[in-house]
Structure 1
């Protein structure tokens, strides 16, 4: 039996509490006839923005906004057009001013890409990081990745 590193572990879509569907667009392709690596950033952005901008989730208090400060993508498999994709997102860590998300793109049951993204809450006027409020923390906890206990 061979031990697997954590990086080799394949994500499971059902572990991600926030999910949405999208389509692969013809414009997403590059000359190799597969989805261009830069497009995955847009897929991951769609997941994060859909979550935080939905007023029902209570993650956008007046005067505050979220800024992406890091995005690490693991490209796992080629993705082609036409096709449908499932996006998944789960909170894995809460910092003083930041939120760490694990995100995935699935197509036909296969994880084609995964990412860790870090966003920072900023004051819209000063553009400086601002601490997460208790309300935001409480609202983010319901989106914790399965198996992750958020402090």
Structure 2
């Protein structure tokens, strides 16, 4: 499991003073960066070989501006060419959001999914936990 601490910025609040619901998917993307590095160690866009097929977010509690958040990230499934990433946002000991992302290892030459190399699968196994 990966964890990332984030101090919410004032610009991420809505008119009610809560963290806007559009912010959590961006925090989740930032939390997935260590997983990206297995596939694209250079992190150069021209080397990119991952796409998002689906994201979903459940908002469980309000997030506040003045308190740090922790984004927890792990894999809940590894397939032939895809993986399911599960993530949570915690604040003040409360799970405030939970989400899933379906990520596909992608070949832009053939414009199709590509098998995840066995060496990468083995590295990903360390971060696999059931929901």
TM-score normalised to the size of structure 1? 0.76
Tell me what 1:92 maps to.
Answer: 76
8 A contact 1:59–1:139 mirrored in 2: no
2:35 corresponds to: 52
Gaps of 5+ in 2: none
1:125 aligns with 2:105: no
List structure 1 segments (4+ residues) > 4 angstroms apart after TM superposition: 61-64
Aligned equivalents of 1:131 and 1:84: distance in 2? 38
Which residue is 1:35 aligned to?
19
The Cα shift of 1:110 comes to 0.7
Instruction: Specify the alignment match of 1:144 in structure 2.
Output: 128
CA distance in structure 1 between the partners assigned to 2:118 and 2:104 by the alignment: 15
Aligned length: 126
Q: Distance in 1 between matches of 2:97 and 2:36?
A: 23
Structure 1 unpaired stretches of 5+: 1-16
- The answer (yes or no) to whether the contact 1:26–1:81 under 8 Å persists in 2 is yes
Aligned-pair Cα RMSD in Å = 1.7
Kindly state the Cα deviation for residue 47 of structure 1 after the two structures are TM-superposed: 0.6
Matches of 2:127 and 2:91, distance apart in 1: 22
1:2-40 CA-to-partner distances (Å, cap 9, x unmatched) read: xxxxxxxxxxxxxxx111111111111111211111111
Distance in 2, Cα, partners of 1:127 & 1:45: 23
